[in-house]
């Protein structure tokens, strides 16, 4: 950064915005605000009511380093080390998929499944027995937790729910565990390092009201040819590559669902927009589902498959 006039908050916001715009940042002003808020400890609103405040030498040095990382294409969330998701703030780090706003639609669907399970409390199933004893928590199984954004959102927004979250990546499990501890949700969320649900305690299998997942779902050719470098070069391929048609992991989830879910339980999976109709056809061909539907994300693109088990 050039020397000269004092580096006030306004000056550095304006300079950073212009610099990142020249480097190809699609949202340079937003990036500048996030970076400076992270360095100073101020909120984005507080930046604008402290326009004339000069930065300390250590803040200026940290900002310079952050700007260069962002200018090189590193995702903003990795540079700042955190991001907001729904009602919580999550730590982020290299090697773990960054949560996307569209995944909030997946959480909405999973919460519907939790609420439906709560509504069934006290009701009777077709065999005359209670579907779920009133004293038991509603159980949710999440496969591929990453930062923990889905599991931790569900647990924080529906107190009393118990979530078992899995991930194959050791780095993801460590990060999700840190986020769980920061939010004080150790009693509500179990995190297991395993492939799919192989390492999950077999005792609760068949008692989950919701099976939710944001698995690797980008078709390999799309990942190689169309995904922006900011994603392909920095985020883990393990969490992105869904195989030739993007449905490699989905097929395994479909096999898992009948063993994991209670009657009337929900399967909710985020998928590549071009794969959803094929995924719905696979679910309908499997049978055992009372409904299978595709839901749109916030930009009105097909994003989430929601299927309900027969009672």
**What pLDDT is attached to residue 135?**
67
Q: How many angstroms separate the CA atoms of 48 and 233, rounded?
A: 33
Q: How many angstroms separate the CA atoms of 299 and 303, rounded?
A: 10
Longest Cα–Cα distance in the chain: 80
**What pLDDT is attached to residue 136?**
84
Q: How many angstroms separate the CA atoms of 163 and 245, rounded?
A: 29
Average pLDDT along the chain, 311 residues, taken 10 residues at a time: 75 95 90 92 89 92 95 91 91 91 94 94 44 72 97 96 97 97 97 96 95 94 82 80 93 97 97 96 97 92 96 90
In degrees and rounded to multiples of 5, residue 268 shows phi and psi of -130, 120
**What pLDDT is attached to residue 243?**
92
Give one DSSP letter per residue of 212-237, joined into a string: EE----B-HHHHHHTS-HHHHTTS-G
| CA proximity to 264, closest of 73, 113, 68 | 113
């Amino acid at each position: 950064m050039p020397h000269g006039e004092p580096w006030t908050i306004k000056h550095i916001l304006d300079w950073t915005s212009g610099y990142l715009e020249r480097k190809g940042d699609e949202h340079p002003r937003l990036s500048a605000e996030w970076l400076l808020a992270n360095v100073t400890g101020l909120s984005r609103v507080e930046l604008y009511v402290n326009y004339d405040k000069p930065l300390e030498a250590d803040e200026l040095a940290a900002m310079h380093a952050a700007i260069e990382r962002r200018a090189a294409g590193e995702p903003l969330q990795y540079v700042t080390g955190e991001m907001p998701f729904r009602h919580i703030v999550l730590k982020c780090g290299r090697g773990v998929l960054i949560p996307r706003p569209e995944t909030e639609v997946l959480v909405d669907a999973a919460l519907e499944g939790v609420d439906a399970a709560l509504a069934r409390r006290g009701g009777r199933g077709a065999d005359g027995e209670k579907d779920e004893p009133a004293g038991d928590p509603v159980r949710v199984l999440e496969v591929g937790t990453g930062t923990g954004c889905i599991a931790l959102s569900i647990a924080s927004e529906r107190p009393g729910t118990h979530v078992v979250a899995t991930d194959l990546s050791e780095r993801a499990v460590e990060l999700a565990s840190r986020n769980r501890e920061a939010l004080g949700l150790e009693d509500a969320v179990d995190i297991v390092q395993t492939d799919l649900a192989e390492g999950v305690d077999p005792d609760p299998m068949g008692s989950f009201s919701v099976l939710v997942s944001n698995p690797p779902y980008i078709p390999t050719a799309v990942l190689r040819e169309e995904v922006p470098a900011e994603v392909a070069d920095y985020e883990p391929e393990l969490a992105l590559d869904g195989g030739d048609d993007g449905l490699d992991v989905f097929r395994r989830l479909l096999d898992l669902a009948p063993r994991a879910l209670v009657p009337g339980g929900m399967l909710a999976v985020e998928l590549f927009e071009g794969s959803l109709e094929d995924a719905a056809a696979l679910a309908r061909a499997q049978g055992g589902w009372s409904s299978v539907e595709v839901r749109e994300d916030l930009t009105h693109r097909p994003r989430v498959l929601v299927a309900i088990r027969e009672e």
